[in-house]
Amino acid sequence: MIDFNNQTNLEINLEEFEKIAKFITDKEFELIVVDNKTIQELNKEYRNIDKPTDVLSFPLDVACEHMPIGSIIISADKVIEKANELGHSKADEFKLLLIHGLLHLTGYDHEIDNGEMREKEEEIIKKFNLPDSLIVRTES
């Protein structure tokens, strides 16, 4: 279900994340973990924003049953930075970014909706017993 490519030293237990992914979608997707330098280059190329970000999502526009729904790219550096800043685990931070990225791949867009994506994030965060600090952050 997850085509996984970790280009960093961040230790990731994929089984933990597959449960969340299966809750959101039964479709296959690509998950790539990179450093800040790489995600900054991608952010500049595809969003014209020349700074690193925590997560990028690239939905595929092809509606085919057996095709992946897109790619999620997560910055390991941002995972570590935010986990330390907010006082929760790197795994929990990674889960939040995975949730956020997957919601984008499945059609949610917090930049144009009326809070539906934030509500869905909160529902998933609560379902998987993630720290409340993650819910508060999704509201800003």
Residue of 4, 3, 139, 8 whose CA lies nearest to 75: 8
The pTM score is 0.89
Q: What is the pLDDT of residues 48-89, one digit of tens each?
A: 999 999 999 999 876 667 788 999 999 999 999 999 998 899
Residue that has been written with the tokens 């986990």 in this structure: 83
Q: What is the pLDDT of residues 28-46, one digit of tens each?
A: 999 999 999 999 999 999 9
What are the structure tokens assigned to 113, written together?
């909706």
Query: Can you tell me the distance from the alpha carbon of 4 to that of 97, in angstroms, rounded to the nearest whole number?
Result: 15
Q: Is residue 100 within 8 Å of residue 122, measured between CB atoms?
A: no
